Amino acid sequence: MINLKNISFDQCIKCTICSIYCPVSRATHLFPGPKQSGPDSERLRIKDPALIDSSIKYCTNCKRCETVCPSNVKIADLIQTAKYNYLKKKIRVRDFILSRLDILIRILSPISPIANTLMRNSLVKLLLEKFLGISRRQNFPAFERSSFKNCFKRNMQEQDIYDESVIFFPGCNVNYMDKRLGKDLVKILNAMNIGVTIPDNRCCGVPAIANSNIGRAKKYARYNIRSLKKALGDRDRRIVLSCSSGTLALKHEYANFLNLDTSTLHEKIDYITPYLFNRFSEGRMPALNPVHARVAYHSPCHLERIGGVMYTIDILKRVPGLDLVILNSECCGMSGTYGFKKEYFKISEMIGSQLFKKIDDAGPEVVVTDCVTCKWQIENMTGYRVLHPINILAMSVFKYGLDEYL
Amino acid sequence: MKYDCIIIGGGLAGLTCAIKCSSEGLSTAVISCGASALHIASGSIDLLGYSSGRYLTGDLDTHLDQLIKRKKNHPYAKIGKKCIWESLEFFRQILSKERLNLFSMDKKNHFHITSLGILKPAYLSQRSIFNGRLLDSYKLKKGLVLLNFRGYRDYYPGLAMNQLKKNPLFRDIPLKTGLIELPHYTKTARNMLEFRSIDLARVFEDETYLSKIAEDIRTGAGDADVVTLPDFIGIHNYEKLHARLEEMTGKSIIEIPNLPPSIPGMRIEHALKTSYASHGGEFSSGDRVTGCSMSRGMVEYITTENYSDTRLSAKCYILAAGSFFSGGLKSGYNLIHEPIFNLKVAGGSDRTKWASDQFFSRGSHPFMEFGVETGTDLHPFGADAKKIKNLYCAGAILSGYNPVMEGSGGGVAISTGYKAALEVIKKIKKSSLE
Amino acid sequence: METDVIIIGGGATGTGIARDLSLRGVRSILVEKDDIASGTTGRNHGLLHSGARYAVKDIDSAVECARENRILKKIARHCIEETGGLFVTLPEDDPSYQDRLMDGCSNAGIKAVEISCKDALAIEPRLNSSILSAIKVPDGTIDPFRLSSANMLSAMENGGKFITHAAVGSIIMKGGAVSGIECVSAKEGRFSIHANIIINAAGIWSQEICSLAGIKLKMLPSKGSMLIVDYRINRTVVNRCRVPSDGDIVVPGDTVSLIGTTSRSIEYNGIDDLRVDDDEIDILIRNGEKLIPDITRSRALRAYAGVRPLLAVPGNTAGRDISRGIVLIDHEERDGLKGLVTIVGGKLMTYRLMAEMASDLVTGKIGVSKKCLTARIPLPGSERLESLKKNLKLFPGISKSVIGSAMYRHGYRASKILKNDKKNYRQICECEMVTEGEIGYAMKSLNTGNITDLRRRTRIGMGPCQGALCTYRCAGLLNEMGHTTPGESLRMMEEFLEERWKGVRPVLWGDGLRESEFTYWIYQGLFGLGNIKNDNDGSSDEI
């Protein structure tokens, strides 16, 4: 069966460079590398779908292969599409749960104190591993008691007093797990005289895509597209996200992978740091105060892919007094929900080991990264507290102390 | 976003240029689409290796003079000899700062051994590839052993040995081949399917295996005093590893460049990128230029895939996007063109004349010399045949030379990248004075 | 050397005769100047004709095709894919041809069904959406390399002998009868083989063989060129519903698709140096694009040409219009030379029938009464259908893509090739997934002399990179396995890349050009392969 959309494998000249930079095949020989799983096998899969090899399931979709490919082959997309099209569709309970984290979160959020304690209980974790295949060595993130959206409705009502406005798509992380990030972001924007609108939204669909639950991902995506279009109305304003993978999904994967029409939205969507950068360049910049802390910055794979790293670094560099260590670009190994799965946990740990060592070498007070699942992985594997660049910026704008975040 | 200069292309030419610019305090950004051709290079820098098929042995200074006199359109002729030597010295210094030393035999070529046992000329080589004085020294009396790792599919020392034996230089040297086992590495069958140089380079980099490898090399070498290995003695800690291996084995260890991916090439790329980052330069990887705006014969701004609608503008632009391999040049059914600025390109529209009938034709292939035409200041010509005054071209995208046939790819990339940087620096300094 | 029958020519017909005779217990030696399937057999579009293509003009051929089609589906399962085929009418085509085709098919007993354009597009999503009508026919594809190799293997297993890379220098005659041939080969030098019967199955080269015996036979060489694209862009055979003309078929074949075919008369002395003309490329692309518009967006991998082995018949001159009928000549009757038989004409599809006819004539002459068995006994590899699943379990360390590809190429024999020795899991050709084990098997059991032969047995170097990585690996491996000396390996490496280049050069643009630049960098830039001559003549001793 020919995928009519992505024939970029045709451009592959077999230079093999992608295989050098694949963090998965580096960690495990079970994965033969992006060249074989992507363009090489695609020709065979077109000839006969039965020739698909199950080893493609090890791909984490980090997209580093695409970043280094000199031939513009959409290698990771080829692999994800193949996973979805040809691998046996046996959605496990675990994958179902991981693909619909939003529901889990919505259920657990109201009982968060109990849930958070329970999820960290070693017996519960053992049971989860035994029956669901969720690695007991990973910690589930803690849930907030009430959602960010509620909090926003209650406390940040007056957003139309500012002379500009922007739409903020909070996503599940901000909504249920990291309210502080949402609040910091809104406050910074407000300090820049920009009002914030929060549209009605659902899960961005990234977990569903990662777990090959394409039907579900499409439902979420359609919902989000509709509600963003509605929120946008006919006003010329931009949509920002605080999550790099979410941005990748909304901006690229909805169109390229789920084949949905995002043409009216595509140009409007920004990850938060490029947005801030552009505003700063226009002179709309809040006053920054020194932050005296040693931080190590890790650039997530997906931010690398959408090209936002330069902006985040630029913004961090603007913070006076900040002792910034930029870590060599490596994959942390979590890749969404990959690291939660029992069978991949070891691989995930191996993939990240280079990064964890470098963090240790740098000896920072906190680690900074843009991606929430990188944050989970690093916190779990190294014990360092991980913050979002927006948190650091908020510390600088509002003179918050680092201890508030620890 | 505004910069002093934007460099399109993050290969040998682009990075040399970027490092020179940023080290002079210019704000620079490199837009790179995918990894560079260094990944398929030998890792040695050639300056001028051949003339009409003959290996050049004499003083390179004289050979350069002759070339410049003979080929007026050659990039070397455009930038001049002084700049060439200066650029190579600069290049050597920046790598040396990143602990990657390059060796030369004064201003002469030295040879390196290829996977087929053929001797190829080079001007600068890494310590394990440099063979310059090997043959004069007391070494090699007791012989040379070509070692390989069992199961490695990208290197066959038997072929190399046979060819070396035919070479008069090696005629009196006892040669043999040998195999090293890496049992801890061949546990999984699946691994054999994708066994590449990079996997072995990582085994070397993991220093826990080093003493075991040293022991295997010693055993495999017997009483020979020189050992060759395929090119995987690490990337990041290479010099230290090589020195330690030589010390532990008591043998001279020579690396033989292999099928891609090229580990020696990656060492250079790594060193260049580290050096560039240390000067505060910005690097956008996996990005592609999607459009450009011209105004009054100058480049006004460019847009890229990753920065979608953000305009990237600079006082000067350098196009070092490589040849066909890297996408700097594109070929259509009956057309060769430069895709970003639509510059004037040397290369005909008659497809039948692009290549020779024989793959290994003595005269190589015309398409190898295709590229952008420039003046001596490296300014290219736009669609209107007028010079674009704030755009410079460097590296493999240039026309008028055949990197493979002349053995000049590395030298042209470095020297034109450097020259472009000098022009940019001059221009920007002048305009800031005004 | 002495035998009962000498067969000259290792195409489908020659190898088919070798198999036919060996199954009847007749001793034979086949002599081929290059490799099996290296001539016209390996240089066509690999269409398993349903017969529909001939139904309008040549009903006999159509019936013949339809019958052989059914037999081949039984005996050569692993060489065949039953893709199905379409005949589509474009707006510019004469719509009445469609009715003539339907009539012809019903006369010849070929199952042709008219379907709606919408259904045609559902079967073939990349088809030109402006087609006016579509007919579904039972076309398929056949891999000529696999077919010849399986015939050879079957013959060898039954005592047949094959000598490849040996040209016939002269025919030995004794008193009005042939008594043997004298051969020349690079490896063995001059040698002779004695037999009382010689079958000339040299295809277009039959004219030369006959002239060695002093007999006049005039062939009319008609060149047909084809263009291959990187991947299988269509699922079924797509034919243009019009009077046969240039560029009116797109055939999927293994991992690629190809646009066929042109027809051009050429001089007889040009048959050994076939070149695809530049305007033929234009014609193929222009017409291929009319059937499948996306085809121009895909990488052209290579172009190649073959010669139709047509016998001159007074009155007919143009290649495509000549009947493709089989001609069997007993030179004893025609020219008074005892023992020489020539079989020419026909098509790849009818190779088995041709072999049967020639073998029947010859066995009659030497008094063997055993009947032909080739229509009943399956070829080696097609003995049994085996499931991918079973092989997956047998070889747990190998990727499914590799096992599947080996099964496509060797059918039932694949499990023997993928022996459970981890060393054999090494992938040498990554585009077509050829392992060390498969190469070892081909070298040992399939009469393989060099890398180009190996390509015909395994598809090594036939993928998008056209040998960029596997040529060196393969050359090294052959030396390591003890099949070649290092010097021979280097020579083969150069020859193989030159052979690939011959097909790449006519379509050198776009990603194909990038690929060639990459290959050139490796073999000339990194290895210095083209410098071997300099190195050997000592130009480098001043270093």
- Predicted ipTM? 0.96
Q: How many whole angstroms separate alpha carbon C362 and alpha carbon C368?
A: 9
Helix (H, G, I), strand (E, B) or coil at B57: coil
Burial class (CB in 10 A: 0-12, 13-18, 19+), C214: exposed
Could you tell me if A340 and A119 are in contact, meaning their C-beta atoms sit under 8 angstroms apart? no
Nearest CB neighbour to C404, from listed A40, A46, A48: A48
Over residues B61-79, the mean pLDDT reads 96
Helix (H, G, I), strand (E, B) or coil at C304: strand
Rounded to whole angstroms, what are the CA distances from C40 to C78, C81, C144, C155, C256? 21, 21, 10, 21, 19
Starting at the edge strand found earlier in the chain, the sheet holding A164-169 runs A194-197, A164-169, A239-241, A269-271
Please tell me if residue A57 touches chain C, with a CB cutoff of 8 Å.
no
User: Does B34 contact A19 at a Cβ distance shorter than 8 Å?
Assistant: no
User: Does C539 contact B55 at a Cβ distance shorter than 8 Å?
Assistant: yes
Please tell me if residue C480 touches chain B, with a CB cutoff of 8 Å.
yes
**What fold is seen in the domain C82-141+220-307?**
D-Amino Acid Oxidase; Chain A, domain 2 (3.30.9)
Which residues of chain A have a CB within 8 Å of the CB of C468? Answer: 13-14
Over residues A292-319, the mean pLDDT reads 91
Token pair recorded at residue C135 = 């007919």
pLDDT tens per residue across span B19-53: 999 999 999 999 999 899 999 999 999 999 999 88
- Label residue B337 by pLDDT band (50, 70, 90): very high
Mean of the per-residue pLDDT values of chain B = 91
Q: Tell me what pLDDT residue C443 has.
A: 95
Does position A4 have pLDDT exceeding 90, yes or no?
Answer: no
**What fold is seen in the domain B141-256?**
Rossmann fold (3.40.50)
Token pair recorded at residue B85 = 């030597």
User: Does B306 contact A307 at a Cβ distance shorter than 8 Å?
Assistant: yes
Q: How many whole angstroms separate alpha carbon C300 and alpha carbon C295?
A: 9
Token pair recorded at residue A211 = 């777990």
Best B231, B360, B368, B406 residue to mutate vs chain C (most C CBs within 10 Å): B360
Q: Could you state, in order of their start, the residue ranges of all structural domains in chain A? A: 8-86, 148-203+211-281, 294-405
- A18-22, A305-309, A359-363: least confident range: A305-309
Rounded to whole angstroms, what are the CA distances from A361 to A325, A406, B283, C19, C247? 11, 21, 24, 71, 65
Please tell me if residue B41 touches chain A, with a CB cutoff of 8 Å.
no
For B403, nearest residue in chain C (alpha carbons): C525
Please tell me if residue A181 touches chain C, with a CB cutoff of 8 Å.
no
Q: Could you state, in order of their start, the residue ranges of all structural domains in chain C? A: 5-39+145-218+324-366, 82-141+220-307, 426-536
Nearest-neighbour CA in chain B from C301: distance (Å):
13
For A14, nearest residue in chain C (alpha carbons): C465
Could you tell me if B422 and B78 are in contact, meaning their C-beta atoms sit under 8 angstroms apart? no
Does position B189 have pLDDT exceeding 50, yes or no?
Answer: no
Over residues A9-14, the mean pLDDT reads 95
The answer as to CATH 1.10.1060.10 being correct for domain A8-86 is yes
Contacts 24+ apart (CB under 8 A), C282-285: C283/C246, C283/C247, C284/C225, C284/C226, C284/C227, C284/C246, C284/C247, C284/C259, C284/C260, C285/B333, C285/C227, C285/C259
**What fold is seen in the domain A294-405?**
Rossmann fold (3.40.50)
**Domain C5-39+145-218+324-366: CATH class, spelled out:** alpha beta
pLDDT tens per residue across span A311-332: 899 899 999 999 999 887 889 9
The one-letter code for the residue type at C30 is: L
C340-345 vs C189-194, strand pairing mode = unpaired
pLDDT tens per residue across span A100-145: 777 777 777 777 778 777 777 777 777 777 777 788 777 777 877 7
- Dihedrals φ, ψ of C108, to 5°? -90, 0
User: Does A53 contact C465 at a Cβ distance shorter than 8 Å?
Assistant: no
Per-residue pLDDT of chain C (543 residues; tens, 9 = 90+): 899 999 999 999 999 999 999 999 999 999 999 999 999 999 999 999 999 999 998 888 899 999 999 999 999 999 999 999 999 999 999 999 999 999 999 999 999 999 999 999 999 999 999 999 999 999 999 999 999 999 999 999 999 999 999 999 999 999 899 999 999 998 889 999 999 999 999 999 999 999 999 999 999 999 999 999 999 999 999 999 999 999 999 999 999 999 989 999 999 999 999 999 999 999 999 999 999 999 988 999 999 999 998 888 765 555 555 556 899 999 999 999 999 999 999 999 999 999 999 999 999 999 999 999 999 999 999 998 888 888 888 887 788 899 999 999 999 999 888 876 777 778 899 999 999 999 999 999 999 999 999 999 999 999 999 999 999 999 999 999 999 999 999 999 999 999 999 999 999 999 999 999 999 999 999 999 988 765 444 444 344
Neighbours of A314 (CB within 10 A): 17
**Domain B2-99+267-433: CATH class, spelled out:** alpha beta
User: Does B189 contact C425 at a Cβ distance shorter than 8 Å?
Assistant: yes
Q: List all chains that touch chain B, counting a touch as 3 or more CB pairs closer than 8 Å.
A: A, C
Q: Give one DSSP letter per residue of B75-109, joined into a string.
A: HHHHH-HHHHHHHHHHHHHHHHHTT--EE-BTTB-
pLDDT tens per residue across span B134-173: 666 656 778 999 999 888 889 999 999 999 999 888 888 8
Q: Tell me what pLDDT residue C513 has.
A: 96
Q: Tell me what pLDDT residue A310 has.
A: 82
Q: What's the pTM?
A: 0.93
Could you tell me if C142 and C80 are in contact, meaning their C-beta atoms sit under 8 angstroms apart? yes
Over residues B239-247, the mean pLDDT reads 95
Over residues B392-420, the mean pLDDT reads 97
Please tell me if residue A13 touches chain C, with a CB cutoff of 8 Å.
yes
User: Does C510 contact B57 at a Cβ distance shorter than 8 Å?
Assistant: no
Find the farthest-apart pair of alpha carbons in chain C and give their distance in angstroms, rounded: 78
The Cβ-side half-sphere exposure at A51, using a 13 Å CA radius, reads 25
Could you tell me if B178 and B209 are in contact, meaning their C-beta atoms sit under 8 angstroms apart? no
Best A11, A14, A15 residue to mutate vs chain B (most B CBs within 10 Å): A15
Omega within 30 of 0 (cis) for the link into B261: yes
The H-assigned helical ranges of C375-425 are 388-394, 400-410, 414-417
Q: How many residues does chain B have?
A: 434
Q: How many whole angstroms separate alpha carbon C242 and alpha carbon C97?
A: 6
Q: How many whole angstroms separate alpha carbon A115 and alpha carbon A20?
A: 42
Q: How many whole angstroms separate alpha carbon A350 and alpha carbon A329?
A: 16
- A299-308, B355-364, C309-318: least confident range: C309-318
Please tell me if residue A40 touches chain C, with a CB cutoff of 8 Å.
yes
Please tell me if residue B432 touches chain C, with a CB cutoff of 8 Å.
no
- Label residue B183 by pLDDT band (50, 70, 90): low
Nearest CB neighbour to B332, from listed C510, C524, C525: C510
Q: List all chains that touch chain C, counting a touch as 3 or more CB pairs closer than 8 Å.
A: A, B
Could you tell me if C396 and C373 are in contact, meaning their C-beta atoms sit under 8 angstroms apart? no
Q: How many whole angstroms separate alpha carbon A143 and alpha carbon A106?
A: 9
The Cβ-side half-sphere exposure at A59, using a 13 Å CA radius, reads 33
Residue C240, beta-bridge partner list: C88
Neighbours of B112 (CB within 10 A): 26
Could you tell me if B367 and C513 are in contact, meaning their C-beta atoms sit under 8 angstroms apart? yes
Which residues of chain B have a CB within 8 Å of the CB of C425? Answer: 189-190, 192-193
User: Does A2 contact C431 at a Cβ distance shorter than 8 Å?
Assistant: no
Token pair recorded at residue C219 = 């062939």
Which residues of chain A have a CB within 8 Å of the CB of C430? Answer: 14, 35-36, 40
Token pair recorded at residue C71 = 């037999």
Which residues of chain B have a CB within 8 Å of the CB of A277? Answer: 1
Q: Could you state, in order of their start, the residue ranges of all structural domains in chain B? A: 2-99+267-433, 141-256
User: Does A70 contact B194 at a Cβ distance shorter than 8 Å?
Assistant: no
Could you tell me if B147 and B221 are in contact, meaning their C-beta atoms sit under 8 angstroms apart? yes
Nearest CB neighbour to A19, from listed B196, B282, B285: B196
For A282, nearest residue in chain B (alpha carbons): B1
Mean of the per-residue pLDDT values of chain A = 88
Q: How many whole angstroms separate alpha carbon C67 and alpha carbon C51?
A: 9
Q: How many whole angstroms separate alpha carbon A193 and alpha carbon A166?
A: 11
Note the Cα C58 to chain centre separation in Å: 24
Q: Tell me what pLDDT residue C230 has.
A: 95
Q: Tell me what pLDDT residue A97 has.
A: 75
Q: Which of B228, B249, B329, B341 is nearest to B292 (CA)?
A: B341
Q: Give one DSSP letter per residue of C27-62, joined into a string.
A: -EEEE-SS-TT-SGGGSS--EE--SGGGTTT-HHHH
Give the rounded percent of residues in chain A with a pLDDT score beyond 70.
Answer: 98
| Highest mean pLDDT, choosing among A83-87, A307-311, C277-281 | C277-281
Which chain A residues have any C-beta within 8 angstroms of a chain B C-beta?
13, 15-17, 19-21, 25-26, 29-30, 32-33, 36, 55, 66-72, 266-267, 274, 277-278, 281, 304-308, 310, 326
The one-letter code for the residue type at B225 is: D
Q: How big is the A-B interface in CB pairs under 8 Å?
A: 90
Nearest CB neighbour to B198, from listed A20, A66, A304: A20
From start to end of C32-160, where are the E strands? 47-48, 80-81, 85-89, 113-115, 133-137, 140-142
Over residues B128-133, the mean pLDDT reads 82
Examine domains C5-39+145-218+324-366 and C82-141+220-307 and report if their fold is the same.
Answer: no
Could you tell me if C171 and C197 are in contact, meaning their C-beta atoms sit under 8 angstroms apart? no
Q: How many residues does chain A have?
A: 406
Contacts of residue B242, Cβ cutoff 8 Å, sequence gap at least 6: B127, B128, B233, B234, B253
Q: Name the CA dihedral angle for B153, B154, B157, B158, rounded to a multiple of 10 degrees.
A: 60
Q: Which of B126, B72, B99, B117 is nearest to B265 (CA)?
A: B126
